[in-house]
Amino acid sequence: MNSIKNIKKIFTDSISVKKNIIDGSELENIVKMGNITISNIVQGKKIMLCGNGGSAADAQHLAAEMLVRLRPSNNREGVPAIALAQDTSTITACGNDFGFESLFERLVNTLGNKNDILIAITTSGNSENVIKAMKAARLIGVKVFGFLGGDGGIALSLCDEVFLVPSDDTGRIQESHITAGHALMEYIEDGLISEGYLHLQ
């Protein structure tokens, strides 16, 4: 059973990782992602998000905040966003018929259009199904943003822009990913309101 000391260490480590991010250049990359996304959404494009496990949950979380509402003070229209691991029928059909590693690739090829945005979330940077989706996205002109950890793995070289968490601890990486995801979505929302694409009600 964890002692208070161990629990405090988890919080302290999480704070330390986020401080290293603040002191580095990763926040500038969030701004770059945001500016590209705002411009492309205004032109009728959409956001796709993918990841496995906790990263799949983050993808669904962030998509929901675009589709529904992010901040209670901002009642506005929805922003086109879709998490690629959102229904069991599609997931199990693809896993059974073509293999789980092909799931996100197949959905990107089916749903993606040039200048859409793919936010690929993988703590290791080496998730096969995410890598295949990133490669497919690049082939059809979808912009690829990576939310990665550690050294970025194979995914690093496939990103147009990247948010890289300087940690090898999965939990700390995921905590930073969702913080960065919220920061990115708020930036996008503010930009779309400023552009007149979204209207506060």
pLDDT at 1 over 70: no
Sketch out the chain's domains with CATH numbers.
4-194 (3.40.50.10490)
CA of residue 52 relative to chain centroid, distance: 11
pLDDT at 2 over 70: no
Residue-wise burial string across 13-32, b where 16 or more C-beta atoms lie within 10 A, e elsewhere: ebeebbeebeeeebeebbee
- pLDDT digit string (tens) for 143-167? 999 999 999 999 999 999 999 999 9
- pLDDT digit string (tens) for 30-56? 999 999 999 999 999 999 999 999 999
pLDDT at 95 over 80: yes
- pLDDT digit string (tens) for 52-81? 999 999 999 999 999 999 999 999 999 999
Closest to 137 measured CA to CA, from 59, 46, 60: 46
Average pLDDT over residues 121-128: 98
Sheet with 117-121: list strands edge to edge.
81-83, 47-50, 117-121, 143-149, 161-165
Give residue 201's pLDDT: 84
Place of tokens 């002109």: 141
Residue type, 45: K
> Greatest CA separation found in the chain?
53
